[in-house]
Amino acid sequence: LKTTDTRATNYAIGTYVSGSPRGIRTHLYSTSLTENPYMYNTLNNPDTSEVHDVGEVWAEMLYEVLWNLIDAAGFEKDLYNADAIAGNTLAMKYIVNGFKLQPCNPTFLSARDAILQAEKAITNGKYMCPIWKAFAKRGLGTRAAKILGFRFNSSSIPSEC
């Protein structure tokens, strides 16, 4: 990220290797549902069942989390400042600590819950709502479910949010 970026900034991955300004992903990483329509139930489509496609959906959700945290807690220019409590550095802390808390072979739901558990351990729930709102925007709200192999979206968030 650059200090001039905003939540309206769209990101392509692999532009150099692909020779395309859109990069190697199906959609740009974007907080716009028009630019990137991926939702939790997108994974029901057989065309998005390949591991890289699944990763695109998860990465898009984390992009939403990142921008909600930056909006809530600001942006730290110095990524080497381990004591920083800005949104971009908190996002990294929550996600990495979430890795440590999630089970082996996590689902989207268990990975989301691990990130929220990490947030609670690090900042005691202060940024729970921006995280929930980001996940809910992409269908991974409180009532999201996977039933008999089908994923169901939820835009619900906890009542305290």
pLDDT of 29? 97
What is the pTM for the complete model shown?
A: 0.95
Report whether 71 contacts 87 (CB < 8 A). yes
pLDDT tens by residue, 83-123 = 889 999 999 999 999 999 999 999 999 999 999 999 999 99
pLDDT of 89? 96
Collect contacts of 32-40 with beta carbons under 8 A, ≥24 apart: 32/8, 33/137, 35/10, 36/10, 36/60, 38/138, 39/138, 39/139, 39/153, 40/108, 40/138, 40/139, 40/140, 40/144, 40/151, 40/152, 40/153, 40/154
pLDDT tens by residue, 46-67 = 998 899 999 999 999 999 999 9
pLDDT of 16? 95
Strands 145-147 and 150-152: antiparallel
Collect all residues with Cβ–Cβ distance below 8 Å to 43 and sequence separation of at least 6. Answer: 49, 54, 57, 108, 151
Report whether 124 contacts 118 (CB < 8 A). no
pLDDT of 82? 81
The architecture of the domain spanning 15-152 is Orthogonal Bundle (1.10)
Q: What residue spans define the domains of the chain?
A: 15-152
Query: Average pLDDT for residues 21-43, to the nearest whole number?
Result: 96
pLDDT at 133 over 90: yes
